[in-house]
Amino acid sequence: QVQLVESGGGSVQAGGSLRLSCAASKYTATGAVMAWFRQAPGKEREFVSGIDTDGNSKYADSVKGRFTISKDNAKNTLYLQMNSLNLEDTAMYYCAATHELRVFKGVPTREGSFAYWGHGTLVIVSS
């Protein structure tokens, strides 16, 4: 069973930066597509960014140019560097990974494509 543990959330002023981390319990960083989703209060969970096993990344339009996803295969850890944060980035951020037996072409963006989820880390952006 894959376990994902997020960290790095917190409170930051608009324009600031945070780096989220997601530690995976096993091979996940090399064998699965990994992604970040977020859920703002009163809204549905949405795709933020993902990275496939070849290192190809995808971003939601709302975060392009501000967020950068990366992973450290040796540490089985996924990262999300978030810069120029704005109030709309306030949300619970979740790390997700696909099942090791499923093969994807590129980075899926639907929640149903991901088998494993962390419990989330809260990001609050204030003015």
Q: d(Cα 83, Cα 85) in Å, to the nearest integer?
A: 5
| 29: three-class secondary structure by DSSP | helix
Q: d(Cα 14, Cα 25) in Å, to the nearest integer?
A: 33
pLDDT in tens, 28-50: 666 789 999 999 999 999 999 99
Q: d(Cα 22, Cα 6) in Å, to the nearest integer?
A: 4
Mean of pLDDT values over 58-78? 95
| 25: three-class secondary structure by DSSP | coil
User: 92: which 2 tokens?
Assistant: 């619970």
What string of DSSP letters covers 44-106?
A: --EEEEEE-TTS-EEE-TTTTTTEEEEEEGGGTEEEEEE-S--GGG-EEEEEEE--TT---SS
pLDDT in tens, 4-25: 999 999 999 999 999 999 999 8
